[in-house]
Amino acid sequence: MLKHIRLYEEYNDLEEKSLERHYSWQDVRNTIQSKLPFIILDFKTEEAMDDCIKGELLDERYVKQAFHLTEHDGASPIKYPSVFIFGEETNLSKRVLDLNNRFDIIRTIIGEYGSNMPSLYIDGDQVDIGVNLFTSNNIDELDGEDFYSIESKYYKFIS
């Protein structure tokens, strides 16, 4: 009989995966459309996102996604790691400011409870981004604009 002993690293990886909860595209869509609080963080690197998850979000409700940014006309979008956080606190702006100071974040979207429109924060500027969602299963239908992907669904905010 052959026995296999798990290494300490393997045990920790299994433990972390078993604690991770999975939320779906429907959970994200319902949160946005119901005007419940949420935060979207777009990170510069995968490492920055992993550090944030391990250091800040491990016990919270969140889902990993990707942010696709088109920097030049006609160019293929650049894909950045992103996290959708289901907000459960009242002062999301204060929390986002703290996260921005600690992690490499490109931009942030905050949907306050009951607010008509989520706000986009990028380089210190604030812009209302639209309350409606455009969703598609086909990346070509987004016309190269900035958008998010989660599971096999693509979405963006529109006015």
Higher pLDDT, 144 or 57: 57
What pLDDT does 17 receive? 47
| List of residues 6+ apart from 20 with CB closer than 8 A | none
pLDDT at 15: 46
Using only C-alpha atoms, the chain has a radius of gyration, in whole angstroms, of 17
DSSP 101: H
Average pLDDT, the chain: 83
Distances (CA, A) of 84 to 24, 53, 72: 11, 11, 26
| Whole-number Cα distances in Å, 18 to 13, 27, 69, 72 | 9, 20, 32, 41
Which whole number is the average pLDDT over 101-124? 87
Per-residue confidence band for 6, with pLDDT thresholds at 50, 70 and 90? low
Tokens 């409870």 correspond to: 113
CB neighbour list of residue 78: distance below 8 Å, 6 or more residues apart: 68, 69, 70, 71
User: Over the stretch 7-47, which tens digit does the pLDDT of each residue have?
Assistant: 555 545 544 444 556 888 999 999 988 889 999 999 999 99
Percentage of residues of the chain with pLDDT beyond 90: 39
How far apart are the C-alpha atoms of 133 and 158, rounded to whole Å?
6
pLDDT in tens, 40-73: 999 999 999 999 999 988 888 999 999 998 877 6
Task: Please give the structure tokens belonging to residue 75.
Answer: 């160019």
Q: What is the pLDDT of residue 12?
A: 52
* Cα 26-157-128 angle, rounded to 5 deg: 130
